[in-house]
Amino acid sequence: MCHSSVTAKHESLRTCYNRSVIMADSASESDTDGAGSSTAAPQSASSSKTGIVISPFRLEELTNRLASLQQENKVLKIELETFKLKCKALQEENRDLRKASVTIQARAEQEEEFISNTLFKKIQALQKEKETLAVNYEKEEEFLTNELSRKLMQLQHEKAELEQHLEQEQEFQVNKLMKKIKKLENDTITKQLTLEQLRREKIDLENTLEQEQEALVNRLWKRMDKLEAEKRILQEKLDQPVSAPPSPRDISMEIDSPENMMRHIRFLKNEVERLKKNLRTSELQHTEKRAQYIEEERHMREENIRLQRKLQREMERREALCRQLSESESSLEMDDERYFNEMSAQGLRPRTVSSPIPYTPSPSSSRPISPGLSYASHAVGFTPPTTLTRAGISYYNTPASTSTWAPRTASRDPPQEEATVLINLNVQRLPPPPTHTLQVSVIAVETVLRP
C-alpha cells in the first residue's frame, strides 16, 4: 500500500516535470518568434543557413532549470527510498500483527473452552444443590405443616375460651351500659318535669306580680286623685277673700293637713320604691333561674346528642369490622379450597405427620388444616360465618354458657320500655355481627361508657 502511494507520487512528479519542460519550450519558441519579428531579415538568413539557433541567455536558463530538475529528481528518489523502507517496516509490522492476532485468537479459543468447561461444572453442581434443596424443602415443609396444625388446634381451643369469656364480659358491659342509659333518661325526665314545674311557677309569679303591680298602680292613682282633689280644695280656700277671722280649729286643721298630706305622700313614695325593688329582685332571680335551667337543658341535649352520635359511630365501625372480617374469612376459605382442589388434582402423595400430638379435626371447621393431612377426612366447600339472631335490646345480651348468639328475653316495666325505645330502634336496624367481632364490640361499649 505504501509502495503504490510512492509510485503514484513519483508518476505525478514526472508528469509535472514533463509539463514544465513543454511549457519552457513553448516559452522559448515564443521568445524566439518575438525576436525574429524585430530582426526578420538577419534571422531568416541565419536560420536558412544553420537551422535553429539558441541564445546563450536562454541556454543558461535551460541548464539551470535542468540542474534544478535533476536535483528535485534526486530528492524524489531519496524520498522514494525512504518510503520503500517505511513500506517494508509496515509490512513487517503487519506480519507481526497477523501472527499476534492468530496467537490471540488461539488463546481466546482456549479461554472460551476453559470457561465453558467451568460453567458446565458449575451448572452440574447447581443442579445437584437444587435437588438437595428440594429434598430439604419438602422435609421442612412437612415439619412446618405439622407444627402449624398443632398450633392451629391450640389456637382453636384458646379461641373458644376467649369467646366464652368475651360473651360474659360483653353481657356485663352491655347491662351496665343499659343501666347507665336508663339512669340518664330518668334524670332527663325528672329534670324536664322540674323544668315544667318551674315554668308554671314562673308564669304564676308573673301573673301575681302583674296583679300586685296593677293593684298598686290603681291604689296610687286613687290616692293621687284624692290628693289632687284636696289640693284643689285648699287652693280654692286660699283664693277666697278673708270675710271673718279664722277659727283656731280651722287654723290647726290647715296647718295639720299639709304635713299629713306630705307625710302620707312620702310614705306612699317609700312604699312604691320598696315594691319596685322587690319587683326588680324577683325579676333578677327569675331571669337567673331561667338562664340556669335553659343552660342545663342545653347541656343535657348536647350530652344526649353526643352519646347518640358516639353510639352510631361505634355501630358503624362495628359493621365495617364485621364486613371486613367476613370478607377475609371468605377469601381464606376460598384460598384453602382452591389449594386443596389443586393438590387433589395433581395427585400428590400424602405427607407423613411428624407431630407428637394426634390430629383430631373439629366438626365445626370445614377447611383443611394441612395439605398433606388425610384429605378424605375434610369436607370440601365454603361455609359462611355464623349469623346472629336479632335481640330485643342489643346483640350482646347472650348467656355465658352458649357460644352462639340468641335473644335475651327479660321482663321490664313500662317506664323502662319507654326509656329504651331509642336504643332499640337504633340497634334493630343493624345486621347481626359474627362471633369474630366480640372483642371489637366490647371495646366499642367501653369507649361509649368512658366519660
**C-beta separation of 220 from 268 below 8 A:** yes
139 vs 369, higher pLDDT: 139
CA 84 to chain centre: 82
Write down the pLDDT at residue 397: 41
Query: Within 13 Å and on the Cβ side, how many CA atoms surround 413?
Result: 4
Overall average pLDDT of the 257-276 stretch = 81
Q: Is the pLDDT of residue 91 over 80?
A: yes
Query: Of 212, 2, 211, 215, nearest to 90 (Cα)?
Result: 2
Residue type, 38: S
Query: Of 39, 43, 42, 40, nearest to 52 (Cα)?
Result: 43
The H or E element containing residue 358 is none
At 225-243, the pLDDT tens digits run: 888 888 888 878 777 654 4
Residues 445, 313: Cα–Cα separation, whole Å: 11
Q: Is the pLDDT of residue 430 over 80?
A: no
Q: Is the pLDDT of residue 143 over 90?
A: yes
Write down the pLDDT at residue 121: 93
Q: Is the pLDDT of residue 96 over 90?
A: yes
Instruction: Provide CB contacts within 8 A for 149, sequence distance 6+.
Output: 353, 355, 359, 369, 370, 373
Q: Is the pTM of this model over 0.75?
A: no
φ, ψ of residue 227 to 5 degrees: the values are: -65, -40
**C-beta separation of 227 from 257 below 8 A:** no
Write down the pLDDT at residue 53: 62
Percentage of residues in the chain with pLDDT exceeding 90? 21
Overall average pLDDT of the 73-89 stretch = 92
Write down the pLDDT at residue 146: 92
Residues 237, 232: Cα–Cα separation, whole Å: 9
Residues 270, 276: Cα–Cα separation, whole Å: 10
**C-beta separation of 351 from 372 below 8 A:** yes
Task: Classify residue 51 by its DSSP letter.
Answer: S
Q: Rounded mean pLDDT of the chain? A: 71
**C-beta separation of 3 from 84 below 8 A:** yes
At 271-318, the pLDDT tens digits run: 888 888 888 888 888 888 888 888 888 888 888 888 888 888 888 888
Percentage of residues in the chain with pLDDT exceeding 70? 61
At 378-389, the pLDDT tens digits run: 433 444 444 433
Angle between helices 421-428 and 248-346 (to 10 degrees): 30
Overall average pLDDT of the 124-137 stretch = 93
